[in-house]
Amino acid sequence: MPVKFRYLTAFWGLLICCPLLPERLMANNGALAIAYPIHQIKIDGDLSDWSWIKTSYPIAIHLSDIKPRDASDFQAWFKIGYHLESRSLYIAVEVTDDDHIRDTAKNASWNSRDAVELDLDLLHLPGRSGVTSYLLSVDHKNYNKSRWDPVTPAGWDKTEGAVIRQGNKSFYEWRVVLEGPLSTPKSIGLDLQVFDKDAGGDFSYSAWGPEGYKYRNPNSLGDLILLKEGEEPHPLSGRVKWAGEKKINFPATIGLNSEKEPGVFLDLALDSTGRYSASVPAGSYRMAVRNPYLSFENKWYVLSASPSPSIRVSPGARVESPDLELVYTPVPGLIPAKGILHDFNDLRAKELDAFIETYQKQYQIPGVSLALIKDGKVIYSRAYGVKNSQTREKTDENTLYEAASVTKPVFAYAVMRLVEKGKIDLDKPLYEYLPYPDIAHDARYKKITARHVLSHRTGFPNWRYMNADGKLDIKFEPGSRYGYSGEGFEYLKKVVEKITGKKVEKILREEVLDPLGLYHTYFSKNDTLAKLVATGHNDNIPSNDGLPEEPGMAYSMHTEAKAFTRFMLALLHQQGLKPETFREMLSLQSEYNTPEGQEKPKFREYMGISLAIRESPYGLVFGHGGNNGDFRCGFELYKDLKMGYVIFTNANSALPLIEAMPKVLVEGKE
């Protein structure tokens, strides 16, 4: 887990919402509101100048596990309008809450106080938009802007916000000025979330529309339609149905596209019977399936629809649209009975490419870098897809990916080289090399050794930001058991720099990159990396994370598959280290903890020296996975077969592909 997530988890949006279902990846959440022209309103928290606007929308979908006790504990609504001449959206929110908790700390956490979050997707293009979010509380104004949205201003320089508290009510106001033209009719992505902290410590959050990750994913927002004064939306209803006997649930929404107004597209919520009902502007529309893939009971299906007839919505008429017939086809099982690598040839390469590309579409994985090893040498490598789902820039053999925790075994290799040179002792307490003030309050840290770090037995949490107070602590007696930790690697990095008198990137260059010819590999920001790096994605939406300013030995390596095979081959052929050192690295250092109630794996699995090791019908397998959130990756080597693979992706949704690789390539379906 990278340093960038230390800060993002403190940011207000990351942990607040439930994950999107696969079928929701290309559709808004079905909530629908209407905005009309209004006179300019003073942004001061006093909502008396909103009294003439009669329509309000409840913020009443409770997304958190903790729910409001009753209406006195939480109740909220919003009103909305626009001012064409100043290109401004106006939003007002009223919250009834018997507690109002403030946090005046400069870096107050999103869940430490009462606040309201406004999420906007003003560009509102299917699959190609961004979100700008404004978090407003009595003491703070925060924002998060997607760099893929050129319409919404960044920050508060062209945005006004105010909040006041009166009795048991809080009043919030925004005015958001658009950079581009504003015309009607137009649809906009919009949602609001209210964060409610109670005096007893409970924290809950509620939204206007369902789904989550609103601060970063435009497809989790509702739809706002801007209409001219005097225009009215008109009722439209209808249903979708399955061709033949129904065996799966309907998708959550169905798309509605204006035939004449490209700026108007909506997503209508479907109930369990496939019916929809909404009020929409007059005009001609056609229905559309936004995402062709749907998951039901752990199986995948491809959706298609019969051609949609034109639907005419007229003033004064209640329109019942013709039924839209959907067809679903099970996605065939693609994992072969026998692994592709055993008899790899041009035909099997095409089979592998088809597998990768199908999983990319199914799981919304923009880019993939893959390389294969057989008979102890590289036999295949390929770059798939795009660096960025919105710019559509294609990947190539030079595209670099975050290697996440695959960084750890590379650093461990360098450390083991230093062990062989007598620079560091695996079993000497690290504090004897370098005291660590961050954990000096717990004397148990003086027992932590390099071996503990490299085998994840330090007792540290994965990252200190996971603690409520953000401070580093020790969860269990060092050396007593397994507990995955990136914090330990940061401590060991400092020790290595102290004993060598060199920066860690210089050590890595001298001990790993140069000896192994590991090209295209970087650990912190530079011009080459900035030019070649792929963009990470959360739910197929490009993330807004920067490159690491400092190297992190638990997470910050950037590379690509073919280049990384240089390191893999060194492990496979035992290059650069003594045979006894490799035996040590592949020996059992830590037994994994099997959670209570979870069945133990069929074959033994354990941690070596920064290598995840498992036994298999094909002998010993070792490697490591990586997960930086918006990048996921992994590599494995089959010691006896002299086979292996490495895969890098730029998507949080790539785990099913990565988990399938051992079966597809070596072990087969069973």
pLDDT for position 280: 87
Q: Is the pLDDT of residue 124 over 90?
A: no
Tell me the pLDDT band of 245, cut-offs 50, 70 and 90: confident
With both helix axes pointing from N to C terminus, report the angle between 655-662 and 346-363 in degrees, rounded to the nearest 10: 150
| CA gap 140, 116 in Å, rounded | 11
Do the strands 159-166 and 234-242 form a parallel or antiparallel pair, or are they unpaired?
unpaired
When pLDDT is averaged across residues 103-115 and rounded to a whole number, the result is 89
Whether residue 151 is predicted with pLDDT greater than 70 in this model: the reply is no
- Amino acid code (one letter) for 306: S
595 pLDDT higher than 80: no
Residue 127, pLDDT score: 60
pLDDT at 49 over 70: yes
Using DSSP, state whether 534 is helix, strand or coil: coil
Q: How far apart are CA 360 and CA 650, in angstroms?
A: 11
Quote the percentage of the chain above a pLDDT of 70.
Answer: 93
Q: According to CATH, where is 2.60.40.1120 located in the chain?
A: 236-330
361: part of which helix (H) or strand (E)?
helix 346-363
Cα distance between residue 563 and residue 516, in whole Å = 10
For residues 95-112, give the mean pLDDT.
90
Structure tokens at 513: 């990159």
CA distance 191 to 29: 10
pLDDT at 204: 92
Give residue for tokens 């294609």.
394
Q: Is the pLDDT of residue 15 over 50?
A: no
The one-letter amino acid code at 403 reads A
Looking at residue 7, its pLDDT comes to 27
pLDDT, residue 602, reads: 85
Top pLDDT among 405 and 317 is at 405
Beta bridge partners of 133: 119, 144
Report helix angle 407-420 to 487-500, nearest 10: 40
What is the predicted pLDDT for the residue at 10?
A: 28
Residue 281, pLDDT > 90, answer no
Give the tens place of pLDDT for each residue, 373-432. Answer: 999 999 999 999 999 998 899 999 999 999 999 999 999 999 999 999 999 999 999 999
pLDDT of residue 9: 29
For residue 192, the model assigns a pLDDT of 96
Q: Please report the pLDDT score of residue 181 as a whole number.
A: 66
Give, in order, the Cα–Cα distances in Å from 419 to each of 413, 430, 455, 622. Answer: 10, 13, 15, 21
CA dist list (Å): 572 to 166, 266, 335, 620? 69, 54, 26, 12
Q: Which candidate, 91, 99, 96, 86, places its Cα nearest to that of 120?
A: 91
**22 pLDDT above the threshold of 50:** no
Mean pLDDT of 22-43: 74
Report whether 257 contacts 321 (CB < 8 A): no
Mention every residue, 6+ apart, whose C-beta is less than 8 A from residue 643: 341, 372, 373, 374, 375, 637, 665, 666
Architecture of domain 340-425+512-592+603-667: 3-Layer(aba) Sandwich (3.40)
What does residue 463 show for φ and ψ, rounded to 5 degrees?
A: -140, 145
Q: pLDDT band at residue 668, thresholds of 50, 70 and 90?
A: very high
Within 10 Å of residue 166's Cβ, how many Cβ atoms?
A: 9
pLDDT exceeds 70 at position 468: no
Q: Is 662 helix (H, G, I), strand (E, B) or coil?
A: helix
* Separation CA 545–CA 217 (nearest Å): 14
For residue 516, which phi and psi values (nearest 5 degrees)?
A: -100, 0
Q: Which of 481, 419, 421 is nearest to 450 (CA)?
A: 419
pLDDT (tens digit per residue) in 632-649: 999 999 999 999 999 999
Render the burial of 610-644: b for 16+ CB within 10 Å, e for the rest.
Answer: bbbbbebebeebbbbbbbbbbbbbbbbbbbebebb
What is the pLDDT, as a whole number, of residue 297?
A: 86
From 153-157, 231-235, 330-334, 657-661, the region with the lowest mean pLDDT: 153-157
Contact 536, 650 (CB under 8 A): yes
**Lowest-confidence pick of 319-323, 609-613, 638-642:** 319-323
- Please give the Cα distance from 432 to 561 (Å, whole number): 38
For all residues of the chain together, what is the average pLDDT?
A: 89
The reported pLDDT for the residue numbered 3 is 38
What is the structure's pLDDT at 267? 85
Mean pLDDT, rounded, for 79-94: 93
Both tokens of 623, joined, read: 């490697």
Residues of the chain by 3-state class (helix, strand, coil), percent to 5: 20, 30, 50
Mean pLDDT over 507-520 rounds to 98
CATH 1.10.1040.10 fits 4-226, yes or no: no
Q: Tell me the three-class secondary structure of 383-431, residue by residue.
A: EEEECCCCCCCECCCCCEEECHHHHHHHHHHHHHHHHHCCCCCCCCEHH
Round to whole Å and give the CA distance between 647 and 58: 46
Q: Collect all residues with Cβ–Cβ distance below 8 Å to 612 and sequence separation of at least 6.
A: 605, 622, 623, 624, 625
Q: Which residue has the tokens 């000896």?
A: 515
Q: What is the DSSP letter of 438?
A: G
Both structure tokens of 636: 């494995």
Q: Which residues contact 340 (CB under 8 A, 6 or more apart)?
A: 348, 351, 352, 664, 665
pLDDT category of residue 616 using cuts at 50, 70 and 90: very high
The pLDDT of 426-443, averaged and rounded, is 97
Beta-bridge mates of residue 76? 95
Asked if 264 contacts 281 with a C-beta cutoff of 8 angstroms, the reply is yes
Q: What is the 3-state secondary structure of 544-584?
A: CCCCCCCCCCCCCCEECHHHHHHHHHHHHCCCCCCHHHHHH
Written as six digits, the tokens of 591 are 């037994």
Q: Is 236-330 a CATH 2.60.40.1120 domain?
A: yes
What digits encode the pLDDT tens for the residues 325-340? 999 988 888 899 999 9
Higher pLDDT, 486 or 148: 486
At 12 the pLDDT is: 30
Numbered ranges of CATH 2.60.40.1190 in the chain = 4-226
Find where tokens 């090893």 sit. Answer: 373
Cβ neighbours, 10 Å, residue 66: 12
> Which residues, 6 or more positions from 442, have their beta carbon under 8 angstroms from its beta carbon?
473, 474
